[in-house]
């Protein structure tokens, strides 16, 4: 392990010696940051669609005061456009001045938190999330880029034949970053024996995947998954390879030759890749991910670390906007049942239930039954809000509850629901209905987030909630328990009793009692009584 190296003026920039060479950062607002550090070699040329390899050493002092290029992606509210395949870089944020060790810290070292950014595995970059609020609580925070979309998560038979697997390159990038952290973070004042991985949406799916991946064993010691319950069962390698072969044909590589694919311009790949929010999930490949997340959690075959698991109260309203409203698809009483069927993979078990005394027939009738008997429009201010409730409950809330019940049999687990109905919208313009506690709403309570739209300032109560959340997250990273004397108590989840969720809402977070969470989200409808 390294020790902090070289020279530092009080509160000034500092030079750190990493395995690959020295870096010099910058100080801003009591936070020292080291930006654009390569954690793997550029995946370009013949290295496109290959597992990451070690970064090269450099001579002299590397300037680490500017962020590196982002991984290739199209423009979106959730990331900045890029065509640079040379993108495997990370950023390290540390307190600018040494502070006294807190209870639970190793002397002279701070807990480490590694952020895996969201964006449906299609968009985003590490530097969109400034973690200075977490750093001021005494954590060393790492953010990173990883390969996205077709470059990060396409499987193809020709690629599988080269390295034994394909379709999880972005996940392997994250593992390479974690190995870099293990080897280098002590030089930055972080404790390599106390690493928390945390992420939201695609980042939370990544967290779950690392928990299920033997290749990630020992690289982290706690896990926080924010809104990752929508993908508990990942596609098989065979199914993903079939999609990859179809993509190859579509871009002019009907020969299915890997050389043809590697010769294609990035712009061609981006122009032809799917924009579905579930198109580029990690794959059950028998190698990087031997089992689906749901199977791993159900059988206890996962890296057993303490966990925080959570979701937001109105997750799906964001997708109502992006998938329908902004595409000019009307969300009305007339279209409501068909949009339920379009938005969700309705569980087949629901077709066997009886709704309001009426037999429910297959898929289309199932969607109608959901609209009529479980989520009647009369109970909601608009069809958009009603559709948001259906999607939230089916894809996120009840899956979070299922995940908590599985994990809590094996590891200490704490569960939350972010429930600020007036959370500032930082990604999307107005959509004609209230976003509520939308998918990703909690991010600006933990980070200084790059805003795609101008958002109003926090109220005093929201500032207090943000302070509590940062404290919970960093205290968990420090001690494997989010509780401290400085925030309201948070009971661990017990799968054999009534739900013990913490509602993150208002100035003072409060627990759900009894069956309130399951009833609120109609979890019995979705197979989670």
How do 31-38 and 89-95 pair as beta strands?
antiparallel
E-strand ranges in 87-189 read: 89-95, 110-116, 129-130, 140-144
Distance from C-alpha of 281 to C-alpha of 239, rounded to nearest angstrom: 12
Percent with pLDDT over 90 in the chain:
82
Partners of 190 in beta bridges: 110
Confidence label for 358 from pLDDT (cuts 50, 70 and 90):
very low
201 is catalytic: yes
Do 317-520 and 15-285 fall under one CATH topology? yes
d(CA 292, CA 219): 20
Q: Two tokens at 2?
A: 């390294």
**422-437 pLDDT tens trace:** 999 999 999 999 999 9
Q: Which of 437, 413, 439 is nearest to 423 (CA)?
A: 437
Contact, 47 vs 92, CB < 8 A? no
Query: Can you tell me the distance from the alpha carbon of 355 to that of 378, in angstroms, rounded to the nearest whole number?
Result: 17
Written as six digits, the tokens of 187 are: 């030089």
For residues 364-392, average pLDDT: 91
Question: Residue 497: pLDDT band by 50, 70, 90 thresholds?
Answer: low
Strands (E) located in 270-401: 307-312, 354-355, 358-359
Can you give the residue ranges of every domain in the chain?
15-285, 317-520
Q: For 509, which DSSP code?
A: -
The label of the residue with tokens 């020992």 reads: 218
Task: Using the predicted structure, report yes or no on whether residue 508 has a pLDDT greater than 60.
Answer: yes
pLDDT above 70: percentage of residues in the chain = 91
First to last CA, the chain: 49
- The interaxial angle of helices 383-391 and 336-343, nearest 10 deg, is 30
Selected catalytic residue, list 439, 442, 500, 505: 439
pTM: 0.93
Catalytic residue among 125, 200, 241, 315: 315
CATH number for the segment(s) 15-285: 3.40.50.1820
Q: Among residues 309, 296, 144, 152, which one has the least CA distance to residue 230?
A: 309
452: three-class secondary structure by DSSP? coil
Q: Chain-wide mean pLDDT for the chain? A: 91
In the prediction, which pLDDT does 13 show? 57
Using DSSP bridges, classify how beta strands 358-359 and 110-116 pair: parallel, antiparallel or unpaired: unpaired
CATH fold label, 317-520:
Rossmann fold (3.40.50)
Task: Give yes or no: 315 in active site.
Answer: yes
CA-derived radius of gyration, the chain = 23
241 is catalytic: no
* Token pair 């450099």: residue: 58
Task: Write the pLDDT tens digit of every residue in 238-281.
Answer: 999 999 999 999 999 999 999 999 999 999 999 999 988 888 99
Angle at 382 (CA atoms; ends 361, 357), nearest 5 degrees:
30
pLDDT at position 199: 98
- 140 conformational bin, left if phi > 0, alpha if psi -120 to 50, beta if neither: beta
Give the side-chain half-sphere CA count within 13 A for 508.
3
Q: How many CB atoms lie under 10 A from the CB of residue 381?
A: 10
Is the model's pLDDT at 169 over the cut of 80? yes
CA distance 216 to 17: 25
SS3 80: coil
Instruction: Quote the CA–CA distance of 391 and 507 in Å, as a whole number.
Output: 28
């Amino acid at each position: 392990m390294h020790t902090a190296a070289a020279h530092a003026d009080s509160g000034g920039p500092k030079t750190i010696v990493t395995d690959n060479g020295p870096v010099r950062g910058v100080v801003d607002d009591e936070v020292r940051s080291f930006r654009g550090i390569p954690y793997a070699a550029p995946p370009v040329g013949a290295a496109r669609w290959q597992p990451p390899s070690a970064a090269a050493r450099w001579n002299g002092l590397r300037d680490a005061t500017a962020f590196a290029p982002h991984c290739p992606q199209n423009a979106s509210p959730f990331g900045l456009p890029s065509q640079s395949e040379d993108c495997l870089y990370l950023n390290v944020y540390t307190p600018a001045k040494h502070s006294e060790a807190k209870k639970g810290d190793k002397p002279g070292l701070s807990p480490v938190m590694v952020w895996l950014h969201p964006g449906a595995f299609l968009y985003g970059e590490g530097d969109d999330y400034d973690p200075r609020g977490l750093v001021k609580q005494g954590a060393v925070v790492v953010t990173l880029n990883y390969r996205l979309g077709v470059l990060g998560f396409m499987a193809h038979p020709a690629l599988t034949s080269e390295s034994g697997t394909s379709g999880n390159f972005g996940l392997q990038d994250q593992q390479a970053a974690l190995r870099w952290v293990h080897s280098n973070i002590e030089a930055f004042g972080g404790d390599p024996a106390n690493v928390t991985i945390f992420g939201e949406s695609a980042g939370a799916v990544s967290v779950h995947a690392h928990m299920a991946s033997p290749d990630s064993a020992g690289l982290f010691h706690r896990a926080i998954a924010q809104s990752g319950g929508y993908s508990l069962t990942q596609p098989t390698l065979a199914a993903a390879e079939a999609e990859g072969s179809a993509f190859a044909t579509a871009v002019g590589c009907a020969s299915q030759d890997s050389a043809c694919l590697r010769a294609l311009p990035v712009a061609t790949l981006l122009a032809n890749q799917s924009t579905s929010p579930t198109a580029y999930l990690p794959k059950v490949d028998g190698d990087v991910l031997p089992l689906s997340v749901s199977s791993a959690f159900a059988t206890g075959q996962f890296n057993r670390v303490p966990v925080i698991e959570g979701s937001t109260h109105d997750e799906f309203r964001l997708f109502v906007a992006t998938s329908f409203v902004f595409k000019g698809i009307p969300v009305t009483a007339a279209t409501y049942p068909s949009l339920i069927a379009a938005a969700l993979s309705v569980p087949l078990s629901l077709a066997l239930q009886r709704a309001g005394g009426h037999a429910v027939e297959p898929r289309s009738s199932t969607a109608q039954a959901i609209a009529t008997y479980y989520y009647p429009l009369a109970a909601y201010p608009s069809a958009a809000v009603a559709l948001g409730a259906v999607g939230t409950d089916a894809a996120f809330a009840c899956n979070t509850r299922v995940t908590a019940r599985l994990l809590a049999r094996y590891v200490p687990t704490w569960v939350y629901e972010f429930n600020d109905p007036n959370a500032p919208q930082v990604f999307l313009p107005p959509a004609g209905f209230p976003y509520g506690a939308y998918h990703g709403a909690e991010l600006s309570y933990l980070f200084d987030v790059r805003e795609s739209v101008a958002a109003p300032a926090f109220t005093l109560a929201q500032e207090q909630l943000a302070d509590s959340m940062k404290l919970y997250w960093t205290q968990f990273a420090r001690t494997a328990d989010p509780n401290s004397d400085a925030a309201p108590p948070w009971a661990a989840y017990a799968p054999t009793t009534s739900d013990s969720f913490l509602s993150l809402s208002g100035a003072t977070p409060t627990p759900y009692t009894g069956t309130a969470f399951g009833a609120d989200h109609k979890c019995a409808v979705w197979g989670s009584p």
